[in-house]
Structure 1
Amino acid sequence: MIVPRNRVVVDGDACPVKAEIARTVRSCGATALLVSSHAHVLVPEPSVDVVTVDASDQAADLYIANVLKGSDILVTGDYGLAALGLARGAAVLTPRGKMIGESDIEELLEQRHFSARMRRGGMRTKGPRAFTKEDRDRFQQKLTRLLGGLQENPDL
């Protein structure tokens, strides 16, 4: 079943593709909601609303969890928030253009937990690779498809 999607909800604090989101929602006749803490200054623009939450831990995630609908596209690199989005029926897309589906989330959460345990134990874990133009292009293509109604099934 294809769910029409016309709003993109963005975990905006560390999102490197905000400009791509703004361009894409305008070209597709959709809207975006960027949510960030006071530590990040985001500017509203046509078709893009900005919500600033307090700087407390997880404030942006909690706000997003409370406003997210099943017809939304959630853009986040936070796997905990991604799991909440999937539970709400939202499509979940990382800033690198990877769709996250039900079949992915358990393993991603386990990896996150394992890495956190290693860091608490004093070990170093590898960070993400450098963000590239190819990542931006892949993201924009996937977002355009989702907003155009061409629903991807990440579980296939």
Structure 2
Amino acid sequence: MPTILIDADGCPVVDLTVRVGQAHGVPVKILCDTAHRIEREGAETLVFDKGADSVDFALVNRVQPGDIVITQDYGLASMCLARRARVLNQNGLEYTAQNIDGLLARRHENKKLLRAGKHPKGPAKRTKEPAKRTKEQDEVFVEKLDKIIREDKKRNS
């Protein structure tokens, strides 16, 4: 049985993930740093020192083939894919061997533009507040996570 590992710092779907994991009897581990201690009933919380990528490296060191990782970090997603995990972002996008290279390349190009004083193309930021999640985004995420778990159960039965 897989474990769901959540890169929880800044993750808007911790509660949804725990709920889906519990519904399927799949263990959930929340990984966070000391500045973002996140605990939920029905999940194990693992707390790491605050520091650049400390949670990411801790997660990669724990992930096993077939585990499900929830993250919005392309670099972490890439490392987890190399460990044969299934990786999903907060909007229900599954990172795969087919799409991760393009996502990483786009991130690299955007960082180069920012260093050059240019802003990458995309919607204008009007406020410092993050956009509110919609019910539809939550539904898409839950449906995709549910589908991944059902596929795994079917494959292993």
**TM-score (norm. length: structure 2):** 0.86
Q: CA deviation at 1:44?
A: 3.7
Q: Secondary structure at the match of 2:31?
A: strand
**Percent identity for Structure 1 against Structure 2:** 29
Q: Secondary structure at the match of 1:123?
A: coil
Q: Give the C-alpha shift of residue 150 in structure 1.
A: 5.6
Aligned pair count? 146
2:149 paired with 1:147: yes
2:87/2:96 contact within 8 Å kept = yes
Cα distance, 1:55 vs structure 2: 1.1
Larger radius of gyration: 2
Equivalence map 1:4-153=2 (5 Å): 5-46=1-42, 48-125=43-120, 126=122, 130=131, 131-149=133-151
CA distance in 2, matches of 1:72, 1:52: 19
Give 1:33's aligned amino acid: K
Give the distance between the partners of 1:133 and 1:114, measured in 2 at CA. Answer: 32
Equivalence for 1:154: none
Query: Structure 1: how far apart are the matches of 2:140 and 2:66?
Result: 22
Which 4+ residue blocks in structure 1 deviate beyond 3 angstroms? 125-131
Can you give the 5+ residue segments of structure 2 that lack an aligned partner in the other structure? none
Query: What residue ranges of structure 1 are gaps of 5+ in the alignment?
Result: 152-156
Aligned Cα root-mean-square deviation (Å)? 1.9
Which one scores higher on RCO, CA 8 angstroms, separation ≥ 6? 1
Partner amino acid for 1:80? G
Residue type of the alignment partner of 1:63: A
